[in-house]
Structure 1
Amino acid sequence: MLKRPSKSEYPNYYVPYVDLVPEADLVQLLEENLQKTIALFEGISEEDSLHRYAKGKWSIKEVLGHIADTERIMSYRLLRVARGDQTPLAGFDENDYVQAAQSNNLSLKTILEDFKAVRKATISLIKNLPENTWANIGNANGTEITTRAIAYIIAGHQMHHCKIVEERYL
């Protein structure tokens, strides 16, 4: 079982995500949360998927698109750090990505299928990493981060946004 990262392995702004991840087998948790996410978003109508809980907030479609985009980026970071690549990795502006994705022009089903593909790829990557790569340190967005921390951030980020959808949108 993958060991939980210490707070020294990632920037403070990721603490809320990592703290959401329970003590569990991370791969199993990612697989279970894939099923929970599918169930959550399949229960939302196409009409309701355009809902925003407040002015200036993302629609449900945009939230799901953001989850997929962020997981794709974080999985890429995880791969690079795990492989020992020391090239600094750039940050990204989530709002710019949401705007550019134009998720509201896609069906919710299409966005969900994209998330499923991304999550399955993430699980495959994590399952197949050599044990000695989990403590590798890389640089993303100007800060040091470990492979292990990125894996936990991926899990916690998805959990965070699904919780927001449940509490504020539905």
Structure 2
Amino acid sequence: MAQTGSKQTPSFLEYVYQLNEGNSLSEAFSQSLTAIDRLEISQLEKIGLNTYEKEKWTVPTIFQHVIDWERIWCYRAIIFARKEGSIPEGHDQEMMGMHSHADHRSIVDLVDELRVVRQSSIMMFESFSDEILETNCEFFEYQMPLNAIGLTITAHQIHHLNIIKERYLPLIR
């Protein structure tokens, strides 16, 4: 992590920027919707509840995780944008995944929910002025511009879709 002021820029932010390939937030959100629309549902359904390794999440759990964390990041963004300033401590993604019940949901429903959540996120971020998007957000031990929260959302999707492509799609026989 890079030290700036009393808080540090999170080390994961470099990965976020890398995955977004230098795109603006608007471009990144647009590309993320296109990626959702291009998902091959039939291929994802063929994977079923199989995992590439014991103790790894199923594809439905991965999609639920992406949805849940987008909502968490949007909550954080609105808190900063509205100058409310109180962010609860971190969340346990493993606990959330374990209790998501995503394996009882269809891929179609999960992808539809992801699309709706993404559209809502886009509308929220589009409502922010440039001044708000440049706001320095400090939480936990981190600091980052609010704009980077939006890029974290799109990078998170890219990261998990890459995992599905590289590790789960080969499971289809």
Report the TM-score when normalising by structure 1: 0.86
In the aligned structure 2, how far is the partner of 1:55 from the partner of 1:104?
16
Query: How many angstroms does 1:45 deviate by?
Result: 4.6
Structural RMSD (CA): 2.1
**Is the contact made by 1:91 and 1:140 (CA closer than 8 Å) also made in structure 2?**
no
Per the TM alignment, residue 76 of structure 1 is displaced from its structure 2 partner at its CA by: 1.1
User: Which ranges in structure 1 are unaligned for 5 or more consecutive residues?
Assistant: 1-5
Specify the alignment match of 1:71 in structure 2: 70
Contact 2:29 2:154 in 1 (8 A): yes
Q: Distance in 2 between matches of 1:106 and 1:82?
A: 33
Number of aligned residues: 165
Q: 2 CA distance for matches of 1:43 and 1:56?
A: 24
SS at match of 1:46: helix
Do the aligned residues in 1 keep the contact of 2:25 with 2:147 (CA within 8 Å)? no
Aligned partners of 1:41 and 1:81: how far apart in 2? 36
8 Å Cα contact 2:51-2:58 kept in structure 1: yes
Deviation at 1:24, TM superposition (A): 2.3
- Cα distance in 1 between the residues matched to 2:26 and 2:3: 21
CA shift for structure 1 position 86: 1.9
Relative distance call for 1:73 and 1:27 in structure 2 (3 A) is: same
**Residue identity opposite 2:63 in structure 1:** L
Cα distance change of structure 1 residues 83 and 7 upon mapping to structure 2, 3 Å threshold: farther
Change over 3 Å in CA distance of 1:139–1:118 after alignment to 2: same
The reply to whether residue 95 of structure 1 matches residue 94 of structure 2 is yes
What SS does structure 1 have at the residue aligned with 2:45? Answer: coil
- Provide the residue aligned with 1:37 in structure 2: 36
2:143 corresponding residue in structure 1: 144
Deviations 1:63-109 (A, max 9, x none): 11111111111111111112222213321111111111110011111
Alignment of 1:1-170 (within 5 A): 10-170=9-169
Cα deviation, 1:101-137, whole Å, max 9, x if unaligned, reads 1100111111111111110011101111111111223
In 2, the alpha carbon distance for the partners of 1:124 and 1:83 equals: 16
Larger Rg: 2
CA distance in 2, matches of 1:58, 1:141: 27
- Distance of aligned partners of 1:44 and 1:10 in 2 relative to their CA distance in 1, 3 Å threshold: farther
Compare 40-49 and 6-15 and name the one that shifted more: 6-15
Query: Quick one: which amino acid aligns to residue 85 of structure 2?
Result: Q
Residue ranges of structure 2 left out of the alignment (5+ in a row): none
Structure 2: distance between partners of 1:7 and 1:23: 22
Q: Check the 8 A contact 2:61/2:97 in 1, yes or no.
A: yes
User: Partners in 1 of 2:38 and 2:3 — Cα distance?
Assistant: 32
Partners in 1 of 2:139 and 2:41 — Cα distance? 33
Query: One-letter code of the match for 1:160?
Result: H
User: Identity across aligned pairs (percent)?
Assistant: 23
